[in-house]
Amino acid sequence: MKQFKLSKITLLIITALPLIAQAQPVNTSENSSTIDSELTLISSESTDVKTDIHTQKDNSRIYLDEGAIWATRDITKFSPVLNIDLSDEVEVEHNKVTDSLRFNIQTNYSHYIKRWQLAVYRGKDRHLSQPLKVLTGDELSNDFDIEWDGKTETSYQFKAGEQLIFRLKVWDKDGNMDVSTLGVTDLVHADKQVEIDKLDNDDNNEKRSYGRATLMRHNIPTSSGMAKMMGTGLKGVDTVTIGEDEYTVEDGKLYVEKYLPTDAYMFPVKVKYDDGKERDYQLFVRIPDTYYAQAGLVDLYFGKNHVSGNKDVLGVDDQYQGDIYNRGRLAYFGQGKFGDKLQVVAHVDTKESALKDMFKHPFAADDTTVFDILDDDDEMYYGNYGDEANIEKVVNTKGKVYLDVQYDKSSAMWGNFNTGLTGTENADYSRSLYGFKGDYRTRQTTSFGDDRLAVTAFASQADTLSSHDEFLGTGGSLYSTRHGEIVPGSDKVTLVVRNSKTGVVESRKTLQSGRDYTINPFQGRIVLNKPLSQQSQSGGDGVLDSSTNNDLENYLSVDYEYVPNGSEALEQMTTGGRVKGWLTDNIALGSTYVQEQKDNQNYQLSGADLTLKATEGSYLTAEFSHSEGQQTDSNYLSKDGGLSFDKIENTDPSAKRQGDMIQVHAVASLYDLMPDTFGAVGNDIEAWYRDKDLGYSYASQDDNLAQLAYGSKLRLQFGDRTQLTTRFDHLDEQDSSGKTVTDTERVEVEGQYRITDHLKIAAAGRHVNELNNDEQQSSGDLVGVRADYEFNDDNSVYVKGQKTVNASQSFDQDDSVAVGAEFALNEDWTLSGEYATGDRGDSLQAKVDYQVNDYYSTYASYIQEDYDNENNIVFGQKADLTDTLSFYQENQFVDDNNGKGKVNSFGFDYDVNDDVDAGIAFEKSNLKSTDNGDIERSGISVYTSVDKDDYSLKNKVEYRVDKGDNKVTQFVTTNRYVHHLSDEYTLFGKFNYSKSKDETKNEVVERYTESSVGLAYRPIFNDRLNFLTRYTYLEDYDQTDRSKEQDTNNEKSHIVEGETIYSVNAHVDLGLKGAYKKKSELYKRKDSSDVPVKNEIFLTGVSASYKVMKDWDVTGEYHWKKDRVTDDLEQGALVSVNKHINDNVKIGVGYNFSKFDDDLVHNDDYNAKGVFINLVGKF
């Protein structure tokens, strides 16, 4: 077993840490006597807004008639916010916006911002080449509104159905720039609302979101410190303005975060009441230049034992080997900043051990256990619940040492980290590991905001393995990963839309934990907030027909780290790094290297990349990478939500594997290159080349297919009336046997010309070479024309035809004629449809939308195609039954080459009031699949959410039935309850349960229960008595595929615990603790037989402490531990006399006695007694 033998270095680090304590402490109360009531300019960076001040004795705290407002500081927190909000729909009329657009800015570091720029673009300007309007300013505060009257700097007509995109840039006084993501808004008619979804499959790699833009690239240094302004009990207060920033008071509470440069500040504060009255105050905040907070503990035991009886039972404990023993623990935590750039977090915890072992292997990771995973739940911190305290995990480490040093934009750390090797398409490496990671970034950036030089390196003795699971959408929200015991925070969940015929990924969307899903890392269970159906609906229009919508399927892609059983890969080295530097603003070179030690073949990934960036919309990237071995050994697909898995690629794990990948991708906006020749919209060229060897292995693309893909696309727009698009693409894929599974080549040209404002014509030609339905190579040439006539924005008709002008014998002829139309019969009825007839049969598509009123709409669609034997019908409706109750319902009838069946779904969402939400969803499907046989699936999901001032309750119940070869039922419920019975009593409860049963075999496949209930008494005014109680029940029964890799498959535990402390008076404290645990497990033998193991343990302890005089106290403890199954009894007593030398050092002398009684069959009785010395230091 490899270890990092750096104990001497660790000892030097620990010895040096107390020197940091010499940093001068800051007296937060100094302002109470030195700052007078009038606003004073304390230094150059202070706010200098003057106002009349209401009578106030203490400038660090504001006392109102009811409630108070005060200021604190958090020197080390770093969470900058820059949000830009705009309505996701903007009304237009007569080619103009009906009202000014108001962009609302939310930020917590406005004091750093000295200049801002807001740019608005038309939605089709994918390269951000020509803004419609650029708004600039010098002042920016929280809740700041930027207003635009809709006047543009270029000729543009606002039309319903189009979009606007916007982005904010801000600069500090030194020219450092922060950039937001792209926000999107739809242009709609003033009297009509439409739903538009155009950006899901956009090729632009900029991050976009509807109605909001958020901080994307952060370069402004904001590490000086953060001030927190908080208020509570603010009855009757509407808003509070601090400086120039206004904040709304909700439920009588105020919470504000503001990043400030190092300085002292006196903020003017305006309190506005609901009745319109206002009062002015001032609030003092100081952000020091140097600040360091630390805490430490040294706890040492030295003792002499006298052991009698059977000593063999104690052979595993060094404490009982010989007469003299020593044990101890050293713990240290420090956090602070030195100047405006340097921040340090240091942590050492040797855990309790013999002194000779305290500094052994200080940098090695502790073995990951199930308890580490369970403890990720805040409720598992038993001693903290009930007092409304927040648990913030500043230190994240699996070893004895944690160090995080940040200087400016760079950092070096030892602890838990994410590798974070990103920025390429084919050589990313993202894992959660423990060890060293360094990240260097220059302060200088390019004109686009990219770091001039970025270097990342890491090294780890990985004790976990990575896994990739894919789940076909089931219509439900519960998905169980292949492996349990997932490392908390390592999960990366992505929604993937894939073409079932070609295997091409159409789109990806990264889901966020907590917002889109929740995960139980111990059990590996993912619960989506919304059910995921199997089929995805997406489509487009053109001259020549393409594949049908039902070819698109939803997959849930999950990558994570897990704790394996018995793998030799544990604690073997994983190293890697990436360098990327911009030689100029336009040229960058990058390199990536990763190496993993593994059981069979070590994995190695190396790559180099080149980036040429002319503008934000014109760039070229080239990547070359080489891999040896396989990155992810666990690569599985499940079609039933995780009940069973199939390996995605079935290769011999002992076979050597290696391969290369070459990719070149170029995009150019012709307007950027020749602005005098081309317009900003609709003129660009794109080209790509991708060559992947069979053995190349990279993360989730480990399909073990050799792939060759290349192509190009050119778009030209001549004036406002003519557009030309050309496209060429080739895709060839072969499996490990050399069989060609995909062989497609297309050349396509399409031109559009708008003759009048109402009439548009288009013509297209395509050459295609592909495998037909019988997997025979075929080729053909198609030409087609299309004419569209738009009566107005809502009514249009079109006719199109295509002809096979040249084809091979095996090519399926594809001559056809089609006619289609879209009509708004009135404000409520919309009809659309298309009928086509030709060599591949007839097809019919039709859709009807009826907006019954502003609150109720219905729709129906029908698709019938002879070539794919497709015959699908969809009926649906949506309704806001009341202001608080909404309803949706949909029926799908499917009949195609993959099978036939129907899917019925409906749901209600009910906002009972401001505090209560509820909803129900139901789905039932019956599919007769040619590949998977007959499958019937039904599911129902119900949720409730109650959030009151004193209590909150969240509940979700789901039931699903799958009928195929076997009938499987699944029941899932998640429940969470917190009730503040008073300011001193808190009741907490949690109940999560799932059960899957194979009804055909009458066998339970999986059952899991996680439940707990607790009551806490944490007094505020009289702190003499405190108590905590909790009951926990855990059950894990697993007979699924993944249970084959586990040692146990059935576990049940009951745990009852309680603890109380009572201060009799100023001298006497009494304590009582009791716990009961009953546990049963089934362990697997190598012959697959089960061995039941049970234990039932009682633990009782009493303690008393008596303060004799100022510096002396006497402590006594006695505890009993009884195992009823084996009838073992362990008990012990301890008495000590302690002297407090000062506030930081205590020394104690005591005597302990332990006795262990076993049954008469085993002669394991022993007595142990002796004197000990306890030395405790703290600061």
CATH number of residue 269's parent domain: 2.60.40
Burial class (CB in 10 A: 0-12, 13-18, 19+), 727: middle
Residue 71 lies in a domain: yes
pLDDT at 531 over 90: no
Query: Mean of the pLDDT values across residues 222-243?
Result: 86
738, 717 contact by CB (below 8 A): no
pLDDT of residue 833: 83
345 plus 453 within the same structural domain = yes
What region does 1134 belong to: left with phi over 0, alpha with psi -120 to 50, or beta?
beta
Residue 1062 lies in a domain: no
C-alpha to C-alpha distance for 1120 and 1097, rounded to whole angstroms: 10
pLDDT at 366 over 80: no
342 plus 457 within the same structural domain = yes
| Confidence band for 399, pLDDT divided at 50, 70 and 90 | confident
pLDDT at 143 over 70: yes
Regarding beta strands 208-210 and 182-189, do their DSSP bridges make them parallel or antiparallel, or are they unpaired?
parallel
| Confidence band for 311, pLDDT divided at 50, 70 and 90 | very low
pLDDT at 624 over 90: yes
Both tokens assigned to 830: 């919309």
Residue 74 lies in a domain: yes
Query: Mean of the pLDDT values across residues 767-786?
Result: 81
243 plus 278 within the same structural domain = yes
| Confidence band for 483, pLDDT divided at 50, 70 and 90 | confident
pLDDT at 592 over 60: yes
Comparing 650 with 290, the larger pLDDT belongs to 290
| Confidence band for 501, pLDDT divided at 50, 70 and 90 | low
C-alpha to C-alpha distance for 992 and 957, rounded to whole angstroms: 10
pLDDT of residue 358: 78
Could you identify the residue written with the tokens 């609709």? 682
The chain-wide mean pLDDT, for the chain, equals 77
Lowest mean pLDDT among 179-183, 620-624, 877-881, 927-931: 927-931
Share of the chain above pLDDT 70, in %: 79
225, 74 contact by CB (below 8 A): yes
C-alpha to C-alpha distance for 557 and 637, rounded to whole angstroms: 9
Could you identify the residue written with the tokens 């292949």? 482
Cα–Cα distance list, 702 to 451, 467, 654 (Å): 31, 11, 16
pLDDT in tens, 656-697: 788 899 999 999 888 888 877 787 778 889 899 999 888 888
609, 619 contact by CB (below 8 A): no
pLDDT of residue 170: 93
pLDDT of residue 58: 63
| 1136 phi, psi to nearest 5 deg | -145, 150
Lowest mean pLDDT among 116-125, 573-582, 665-674, 905-914: 905-914
| Confidence band for 643, pLDDT divided at 50, 70 and 90 | low
CA angle 4, 8, 14 (to 5 degrees): 105
pLDDT in tens, 896-941: 665 677 777 778 888 888 788 888 878 777 777 665 567 777 778 8
165, 125 contact by CB (below 8 A): yes
Comparing 9 with 217, the larger pLDDT belongs to 217
786, 543 contact by CB (below 8 A): yes
813 plus 785 within the same structural domain = yes
Report residue 1167 CA to chain centroid gap: 54
C-alpha to C-alpha distance for 577 and 1099, rounded to whole angstroms: 50
Q: Which residues pair with 1173 in a beta bridge?
A: 302, 1149
Decide which of 844, 876, 899 is a domain's last residue: 844
pLDDT in tens, 74-87: 766 667 889 999 88
pLDDT of residue 896: 64
CA angle 450, 110, 342 (to 5 degrees): 60
Both tokens assigned to 905: 């779904």
Question: Coil, strand or helix: which one is 44?
Answer: coil
**CA nearest to 400, candidates 344, 458, 360:** 360
pLDDT at 8 over 90: no
pLDDT of residue 78: 66
Residues 6+ apart with CB under 8 A from 807: 778, 779, 780, 781, 813
Comparing 604 with 644, the larger pLDDT belongs to 604
580, 593 contact by CB (below 8 A): no
CA angle 1043, 1048, 1050 (to 5 degrees): 90
Lowest mean pLDDT among 101-105, 835-839, 898-902: 898-902
| Confidence band for 367, pLDDT divided at 50, 70 and 90 | low
At 389, which amino acid appears? Answer: A
203 plus 239 within the same structural domain = no
**CA nearest to 994, candidates 974, 977, 978:** 974
139 plus 72 within the same structural domain = no
Q: Helices then strands (H, E): number in the chain?
A: 4, 70
161 plus 114 within the same structural domain = yes
C-alpha to C-alpha distance for 1079 and 795, rounded to whole angstroms: 70
Cα–Cα distance list, 746 to 187, 683, 734, 816 (Å): 35, 21, 19, 19
| Confidence band for 191, pLDDT divided at 50, 70 and 90 | low
340, 262 contact by CB (below 8 A): yes
Comparing 640 with 398, the larger pLDDT belongs to 398
Residue 883 lies in a domain: no
Strand ranges across the sheet with 517-520: 478-480, 525-528, 517-520
pLDDT at 1161 over 50: no
pLDDT at 28 over 80: no
Question: What stretch of H or E contains 558?
Answer: strand 552-562
**CA nearest to 556, candidates 473, 488, 633, 490:** 473
Residues 6+ apart with CB under 8 A from 809: none
Query: Mean of the pLDDT values across residues 371-377?
Result: 41
Residues 6+ apart with CB under 8 A from 420: 430, 437, 439, 456
Strand ranges across the sheet with 237-242: 245-248, 237-242, 263-273, 278-287
Question: Coil, strand or helix: which one is 699?
Answer: helix
C-alpha to C-alpha distance for 1143 and 1139, rounded to whole angstroms: 11
Query: Mean of the pLDDT values across residues 448-466?
Result: 87
Report residue 1087 CA to chain centroid gap: 41
| Confidence band for 456, pLDDT divided at 50, 70 and 90 | very high
pLDDT at 26 over 70: no
pLDDT in tens, 1095-1122: 788 888 898 988 887 788 888 888 888 8
Q: Three-state SS across 570-588?
A: CCEEEEEEEEEEECCCCEE
Residue 434 lies in a domain: yes
Query: In the chain, helix, strand, coil percent, each to 5?
Result: 5, 60, 35
442 plus 537 within the same structural domain = no
pLDDT of residue 193: 37
Q: Three-state SS across 866-918?
A: CCCCEEEEEEEEEEECCCCEEEEEEEEEEEECCEEEEEEEEEEEEECCCCEEE
C-alpha to C-alpha distance for 84 and 214, rounded to whole angstroms: 6
Note down the domain range covering 784.
756-764+776-844
pLDDT in tens, 981-1015: 877 888 888 888 888 888 888 888 888 888 888 88
Comparing 162 with 1084, the larger pLDDT belongs to 162
Query: Mean of the pLDDT values across residues 1151-1174?
Result: 57
pLDDT at 314 over 60: no
C-alpha to C-alpha distance for 508 and 496, rounded to whole angstroms: 5
pLDDT at 392 over 50: yes
CATH code of residue 160: 2.60.40.2550
Terminal CA-CA length for the chain: 36
pLDDT of residue 135: 93
432 plus 323 within the same structural domain = yes
C-alpha to C-alpha distance for 764 and 725, rounded to whole angstroms: 9
pLDDT of residue 323: 62
Residues 6+ apart with CB under 8 A from 94: none
Cα–Cα distance list, 322 to 306, 329, 537 (Å): 9, 21, 74
Any idea of the CA torsion for 179, 181, 182, 184, to the nearest 10 degrees? -130
136 plus 191 within the same structural domain = yes
Decide which of 462, 486, 510 is a domain's last residue: 462
Q: Which residues pair with 1048 in a beta bridge?
A: 1083
319 plus 445 within the same structural domain = yes
Regarding beta strands 89-93 and 115-122, do their DSSP bridges make them parallel or antiparallel, or are they unpaired?
unpaired
pLDDT of residue 538: 45
Decide which of 787, 815, 844 is a domain's last residue: 844
Residue 206 lies in a domain: yes
pLDDT at 811 over 50: yes
268 plus 193 within the same structural domain = no
**CA nearest to 1041, candidates 649, 650, 655, 639:** 639
Tally the domains of the chain: 5
Question: Coil, strand or helix: which one is 1179?
Answer: coil
Report residue 717 CA to chain centroid gap: 40
| Confidence band for 310, pLDDT divided at 50, 70 and 90 | very low
Residue 808 lies in a domain: yes
Residue 235 lies in a domain: yes
Cα–Cα distance list, 1175 to 11, 303, 304, 1051, 1150 (Å): 19, 12, 15, 41, 11
C-alpha to C-alpha distance for 1024 and 392, rounded to whole angstroms: 27
C-alpha to C-alpha distance for 195 and 88, rounded to whole angstroms: 11
